[in-house]
Amino acid sequence: MKILKFGGTSVANSQNIKRVLDIVFNKAKQDKLIVVVSALSKVTDLLQLASEKAASNDDSYKEIVADIEKKHLDAIKELIPISEQSGSLSHIKRIINHLETLLDGCFLLGELSNRTSDTILSFGELLSSYIIAETLKQNLKNSSYKDSRELIKTNNTFGKAAVNFEVTNQLITDFYASNDSQVVVMPGFIASSLDGINTTLGRGGSDYTAAIMAGALDATDLEIWTDVNGMYTANPKIVKQAQPIASISYQEAMELSHFGAKVLFPPTIQPVLRKNIPIHIKNTFEPEAEGTFISSNSLSNGSPVKGISHIEHISLITLEGPGMIGVSGSSKRLFEVLSNENINVIFITQASSEHSICIGILNSDAGNAEDAINRAFQIEISQHKIDPCIVEKNLCIIALVGENMKNHQGLSGKMFSTLGKNNVNIRAIAQGASERNISAVINERDVKKALNTLHERFFEDNTKQLNLFVMGVGNVGEKFIDQINQQNKFLKDNLKINLRVIALANSRKMLFDEEGIDLKSWESLLDKGEKADQQLFIKQVKALNLRNSIFVDITANESVSQTYEHFLRESVAVVTCNKIACSSAFDNYKNLKNLSRRYSAPFLFETNVGAGLPIIDTVKNLVASGDKVNKIQAVLSGSLNFIFNNFDKDNSFHDVVKEAGIQGFTEPDPKIDLSGIDVARKILILIRESGYKMEIEEIENESFLPEACMETLNNDDFFKSLIEHATHFEGILAEANAKDSRLKFVAQFEDGKASVGLQFITKDHPFYNLEGKDNIVLFYTDRYVDQPLLIKGAGAGAAVTASGIFADVIRIGNI
């Protein structure tokens, strides 16, 4: 004997019902079956809506009834041969007429009692089960229909009636003993009281109906057929990487179903648990899929955590005050108040000091609970022994569930540290002594991020998904995107990092895609994006609230650099090649570093100095290990080094600067490089990272550009001025040749003073042979006294800068 239950989506329409009947036919070849069915998909919601409209004197309920009638009549016409339809059509019309009469009564009276609501809601299952039973009879003669109201008896608690198992079990066994049908079809969800009044078992109660039948008849199996491949490690609609759970214990299934795993109605397990009857959750649309097997034994999936679930729309009520300490009965009084108001408590936690107690209830009950509690403790509140209760709404409970969690240390630590790194604030925590469940209350807006973060930590082989928001897609940005596209598979396979570009923006357009932008066609997609808006970009990043979010600034824009604080405060990491923020006022620089630490949001800017060279990281390691930087000498501009290495009697200064721009060695505004301000910013950043306080104005900048060149307002005028002052640059070159020296733009720091400027470098100096666009830095420290620590390599160019940004992103992935 097997009990099969089919949910609303499984019987949503005639096509789906045919799938159900195929499954039933195949199962009936080997076993006797009881088939429990839900209402057609969405019909219960329509019945609820119709009853509410009728009770509020809105006659549009008649349109809803007409829609319900059409849905069921169409199903009959598509499932049952024309010659056999008349009786079924008449029966459906009689049921619909009865429904209309009840709704007309609600309309006339202007009210809807719980008792009437139960009767109205029962029509969905009555209609669907009749149609399915009649269709089944066309092909399986030895089948029958049984109204579950005649078998399942309850009390008169309308809306969620309690089953009288003694009477119910006897009625079921008596019925089955006298019935020889191979298949019996029954409506789920509905029952009746001992005096014959319609009741319901609660939304999702069709599962419960099937379990009651299974328990009463000692069935070999209870099969719950739905539209997914079993219970999942998390809600697959929220966590795309969620996986079906092959095997799970009754207790684990109860925990998950209680915490919102909607594939199984929580009370379902109780009737079969006592009889040790296994439950198999299967997919009507993929009947060959393994599904989830629920029994007394739980096979390990390699993780002590079996699933992550959540309950939304929670309010946290806190009762606290010195008058609770050492006073027995405070908790009893609190829970009695809630019980008297018929308010279900979902979550409980109490401090060991007894100073406060926290409970979680549904948002819809919060107002009633607050009034009732304050009334009950009115005397203590007036005497200031207890504070009026505090109500926090729009929260959510998330829970880790697993039978074997008690045998593994550190799970709570992993859970809370993972949430903390993603700025998910925990309002309350509860863990039972069985350690089968660790629950935390969080803000409802953080649910998606929290579930995905925890799922990644416990189920995805430690693969970390990084969500990138990229601003600036010029030469460097384009190379950066190309590198991500090229390396994505390698990162997943070898470093367990999954990179997704969620947003791209330039000065004209911006593009967002929560599922990740297709990097093979990003240019055409961005072209069709919305108008660029910096504030809207920030707002979108905050609204998406994705885990492991990284803002990547690949611009030289001051206003963009001023947005970092907004991102860091939201625990969004910042990676930037834009030097403006770290060379701005010292207080702003320190504030960004402090925010990074406070909100566990990395702030990385390795490419601010030396493009892809590990210069800043080296300074950080020197300082962290206790060394002291005393002196710095450096050529920090790859663009200027390229320019002065190629400037000779055959190549004019103007032409060399033009070529540097074409190759991407200079900023879009070449004056930033040639004025020395870019180098001043770089040495300032190194000085600050070395532990010294300095402002940009304190750095002496010995400019080699004529004042007229500096005063130009656009690039065209600037390049014209370079031609007009060609003799000035030729004079500098002639002086260098006369001194048998090479021209290098050098940055220096020593004894608290810093300068940048053009120098004549002789052959015996380490800078003399610096070629192309290379950078070089000499660090003189307490440990590197006679021979400095030297770092040398390519310090400009789109590809190397992009690789430096990429390296910072990967560094965050490895944290």
Active site residues: 682
C-alpha to C-alpha distance for 799 and 475, rounded to whole angstroms: 8
Yes or no: say if 779 and 756 are a contact pair by the CB < 8 Å rule.
no
Task: Locate 454 and state its tokens.
Answer: 């925890």
C-alpha to C-alpha distance for 158 and 98, rounded to whole angstroms: 20
Kindly state the helix (H) or strand (E) to which residue 738 belongs, with its residue range.
helix 726-738
C-alpha to C-alpha distance for 796 and 93, rounded to whole angstroms: 80
C-alpha to C-alpha distance for 187 and 145, rounded to whole angstroms: 9
**Helix, strand or coil for residue 747?**
strand
Q: Which of 124, 150, 99, 140 is nearest to 8 (CA)?
A: 124
Read off the amino acid at residue 543. A
Yes or no: say if 456 and 547 are a contact pair by the CB < 8 Å rule.
yes
How buried is 664 (Cβ within 10 angstroms: 0-12 exposed, 13-18 middle, 19+ buried)? buried
Yes or no: say if 287 and 379 are a contact pair by the CB < 8 Å rule.
no
Residues 6+ positions from 438 with CB-CB distance below 8 Å: 399, 400, 405, 411, 412, 415, 429, 430, 431
Residues 6+ positions from 256 with CB-CB distance below 8 Å: 231, 248, 264, 306, 307, 309, 401
Determine the length of the chain: 815
Q: Can you say whether the dihedral through the CA atoms of 441, 442, 444, 447 is positive or negative? A: negative
How buried is 489 (Cβ within 10 angstroms: 0-12 exposed, 13-18 middle, 19+ buried)? exposed
Q: Are strands 356-362 and 347-350 parallel, antiparallel or unpaired?
A: antiparallel
Sheet holding 153-154, edge to edge: 153-154, 190-193, 198-200
Residues 6+ positions from 650 with CB-CB distance below 8 Å: none
C-alpha to C-alpha distance for 572 and 549, rounded to whole angstroms: 5
How buried is 410 (Cβ within 10 angstroms: 0-12 exposed, 13-18 middle, 19+ buried)? exposed
Kindly state the helix (H) or strand (E) to which residue 365 belongs, with its residue range.
helix 363-376
Q: Across the chain, which distance is largest between two alpha carbons, in Å?
A: 118
C-alpha to C-alpha distance for 526 and 676, rounded to whole angstroms: 34
Yes or no: say if 334 and 356 are a contact pair by the CB < 8 Å rule.
no
**How many Å separate Cα 486 from the centre of its chain?**
26
Kindly state the helix (H) or strand (E) to which residue 367 belongs, with its residue range.
helix 363-376
Q: What is the DSSP string of 745-781?
A: EEEEEETTEEEEEEEEE-TTSTTTT--TTEEEEEEEE
C-alpha to C-alpha distance for 45 and 701, rounded to whole angstroms: 74
Alpha-carbon torsion, ordered 213, 214, 218, 223, to 10 deg = 150
Yes or no: say if 586 and 693 are a contact pair by the CB < 8 Å rule.
yes
C-alpha to C-alpha distance for 214 and 3, rounded to whole angstroms: 6
Sheet holding 2-6, edge to edge: 143-145, 183-187, 33-37, 2-6, 221-226, 279-283, 292-295, 247-249
**Helix, strand or coil for residue 306?**
coil
The number of beta carbons lying within 10 Å of the beta carbon of residue 374 is: 16
Yes or no: say if 63 and 78 are a contact pair by the CB < 8 Å rule.
no
C-alpha to C-alpha distance for 258 and 347, rounded to whole angstroms: 11
C-alpha to C-alpha distance for 565 and 573, rounded to whole angstroms: 10
C-alpha to C-alpha distance for 668 and 79, rounded to whole angstroms: 70
